[in-house]
Amino acid sequence: MSTPCYVFDFDEFEKRALAIKEELPGMPLTYSIKANPFLLGGLPDAIDHVEVCSPGELEICKELNIPGERIIYSGVVKEEEDVHIALEYGVDIITCESLRHAALIQQENVNVKAILRLTSGNQFGMSYDDIEYIIANRDEYFSNLDIIGLHFYSGTQKNLKKILKDIEKIEKALTGLKHKCDYEPSFIEYGPGLCVEYFKQNNDELEMEHLKEAAVVLNKFAKKHPLGIEMGRFLAATSGSFFTKVVDTKSSMDTEYLLVDGGIHHVNYYGQKMAMEIPPISVINNGYKYSVEELIQNKGSVRANSKDVDYCICGSLCTVADVLVREVTLPELSVGDVLCFDRCGAYSVTEAPALFLSRELPTIYTKRGNELTKVRDIIKASKINVKGL
């Protein structure tokens, strides 16, 4: 079989969406497609909107026939043409990240549902004062904007304490807008950034605990304000696996190395922590003989009586940074064996430095039930890096 490759599981994606909806009943659920646009091919009914943050992501939605009424168009850099194309496509809601965004949308001369993004203290969103200015002058200067509410997101991998601080900040803004502008929203889009436990054994159980803890806070808030939930990582992470083949082994200065045909340009769990942690890894001996279907079926298939070895797993890039796992104990492996990294459904496929060193971009499969579909063949990065596709 051809490695490296990703397999994205639509059934797991839907399962996670339904688990979220069960804990947060009645709240619209938005999927931020920057986490993994390939999951759009199996978008479950439990997801009400998708959030796009660039013209390119909007093009993906068009290509996959995602209707405009299911799209929230977000992102910090919106130009006049971007706004026009998005509204022409019929996106349901557009976000304003600045006073300029509000002015650009006003120029379109059509009625637009808009949400104003409140900053969490970085380059995203607006200050409370700018939001108050827009709402206070909505009839005079921003009459085309149907300002339905606010948007707030302060980051990923957050604990309950940080979520409580977010809610407190939103509440404070809403109180001020009610008092000064007599304004009450009909929609609050909030991204809780729930923590995905990549490196712990009981990860599914822990993640459901995080969800249930946050649900207490979010359901309480939703009784007072019309809340919608936006997620990317927490929705997508469990839906992906990455298969990579051992292409070399060596012993050097008391370290046993595995060299694989993937690398940090393909697997990116969260920030720079990965090499020092042990992600969920399965071993498939003689994996080079298997089809992708057989690889999935044989995850964890190891040789009888194989001894355990402490390995450092490194990728195919010519940089000392390409360390997937600094030290992990695995059954003894040989050239041609395959490793499967799980929980790769979010960001790995798009966020890692895929074009570095002009290595090939992996094949991508999607899975529903027992049916696998190849949605992208290997792409030669060298073609992109020298003259484009």
In Å, the largest CA–CA distance within the chain is: 78
Q: Give per-residue pLDDT as tens, 43-98.
A: 999 999 999 999 999 999 999 999 999 999 999 999 999 999 999 999 999 999 99
Q: Give per-residue pLDDT as tens, 189-201.
A: 999 999 999 999 8
Cα-based angle 36, 42, 44 (whole degrees, multiple of 5): 100
Q: What are phi and psi of 294, to 5 degrees?
A: -70, -35
Of 50-54, 178-182, 231-235, 280-284, the range with the lowest mean pLDDT is 280-284
- pLDDT surpasses 90 at 302: no
Q: What is the dihedral of CA 292, 298, 304, 310, to 10 degrees?
A: 80
Residues sharing a CB contact under 8 Å with residue 71, sequence separation 6 or more, in sequence order: 49, 50, 51, 52, 58, 61, 86, 89, 91, 92, 93
Structure tokens at 107: 């120029």
Q: Give per-residue pLDDT as tens, 17-28.
A: 999 999 999 999
Range 302-310 average pLDDT:
83
Q: Give per-residue pLDDT as tens, 153-162.
A: 999 999 999 9
- pLDDT surpasses 80 at 316: yes
* pLDDT band, residue 290 (cuts 50/70/90): confident
Three-state SS at 218: helix
Q: Give per-residue pLDDT as tens, 116-131.
A: 999 999 999 999 999 9
pLDDT of residue 298: 81
pLDDT of residue 239: 97
Global pTM value: 0.95
Cα separation, 116 vs 102, in Å, equals 9
pLDDT of residue 366: 97
- pLDDT surpasses 60 at 254: yes
Instruction: Tell me the DSSP string of 113-125.
Output: EEEEEBPSSSSSS
Instruction: List beta partners, residue 8.
Output: 240, 366
- pLDDT surpasses 80 at 274: no
- pLDDT surpasses 80 at 389: no
Q: Give per-residue pLDDT as tens, 325-373.
A: 999 999 999 999 999 999 999 999 998 888 888 999 999 999 999 999 9
The percentage of the chain sitting over the pLDDT mark of 70, rounded to a whole number, equals 98
The percentage of the chain sitting over the pLDDT mark of 90, rounded to a whole number, equals 81
- pLDDT surpasses 60 at 272: no
Instruction: Tell me the DSSP string of 250-310.
Output: EEETTEEEEEES--TTT---STT-GGGS---EEEETTGGGS-HHHHHHTTT---TTPPEEE
The rounded mean pLDDT for the chain is 93
CB 233 within 8 A of CB 42: no
Looking at per-residue confidence, does 51 or 295 come out higher?
51
pLDDT of residue 276: 75
Structure tokens at 367: 């899975």
Structure tokens at 131: 């939001």
pLDDT of residue 306: 79
Q: What are phi and psi of 241, to 5 degrees?
A: -125, 150
Range 95-121 average pLDDT:
94
